[in-house]
């Protein structure tokens, strides 16, 4: 977890800008950088969940019953962290969209022939006073997508958490 803490202390977007500027801006590089720099969020939350679950009675009873560590992980721990993993993934979609749009806005994202909302925002910036709807449409689209992803994550958290269910 010390490595995770070290990565969390570094500014995420600055690392992405540095890595992509050193590499050639391409769709594969953007996907890899965004994907590889988001592992810390998953590691911290899922580690906490696993540590919490490892102290529960059903895991202790599985140990007493003679289950191997692999059986405990596959039968007891993993099914209980899938809900958290799904919620983190839906929330990570919004963060990934904002990161890609930011990189494309700076000219370090998806290359030119491929469409990107960040590139659309950057190109429409010069028409801001004459054609205000040009930056409005990609900006609203990014906002709606990120908000929808967060709302789906919040709904999944409420729906999949057994302690929040109404009887």
Per-residue pLDDT tens over the stretch 121-162: 999 988 888 998 899 999 999 999 999 999 998 888 888 776
Token representation of residue 154: 């919040």
Q: How many CB atoms lie within 10 A of CB 28?
A: 10
Averaged pLDDT score across all residues of the chain: 88
pLDDT at position 13 is 86
With tokens 């911290």, the residue in question is 44
pLDDT digits (tens, 9 = 90+) for 51-78: 999 999 989 999 999 989 999 999 889 9
Contact by Cβ (8 Å): 145, 94: yes
- Compute how many other C-beta atoms are within 10 angstroms of the C-beta atom of residue 104: 23
120 pLDDT more than 90: yes
What pLDDT is recorded for position 84? Answer: 87
Domain ranges (residues) in the chain: 2-164
| Contact by Cβ (8 Å): 56, 72 | no
Tokens at 90, concatenated: 């839906």
Structure tokens that stand for 11 in this block: 């500014």
pLDDT value at residue 165: 61
Reported as a single tens digit per residue, the pLDDT across 25-45 is 888 999 999 988 888 888 899
Query: For the residues 6-11, what does the mean pLDDT come to?
Result: 82
Is the pLDDT at 105 greater than 80? The verdict is yes
Give the pLDDT band of residue 166 (cuts 50, 70, 90). Answer: low
């Amino acid at each position: 977890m010390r490595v995770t803490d070290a990565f969390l202390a570094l500014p995420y977007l600055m690392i992405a800008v540095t890595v992509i500027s050193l590499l050639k801006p391409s769709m594969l590089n953007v996907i890899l950088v965004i994907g590889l720099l988001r592992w810390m969020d998953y590691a911290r939350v899922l580690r906490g969940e696993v540590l919490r679950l490892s102290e529960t009675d059903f895991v202790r009873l599985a140990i007493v019953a003679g289950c191997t560590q692999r059986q405990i992980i596959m039968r007891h721990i993993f099914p209980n962290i899938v809900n958290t993993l799904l919620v983190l993934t839906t929330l990570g979609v919004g963060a990934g969209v904002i990161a890609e749009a930011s990189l494309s806005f700076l000219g370090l994202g998806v290359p030119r022939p491929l469409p990107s909302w960040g590139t659309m925002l950057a190109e429409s910036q010069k028409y801001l006073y004459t054609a205000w709807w040009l930056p409005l449409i990609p900006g609203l689209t990014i906002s709606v997508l990120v908000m929808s992803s967060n709302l789906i994550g919040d709904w999944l958290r409420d729906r999949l958490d057994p302690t929040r269910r109404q009887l």
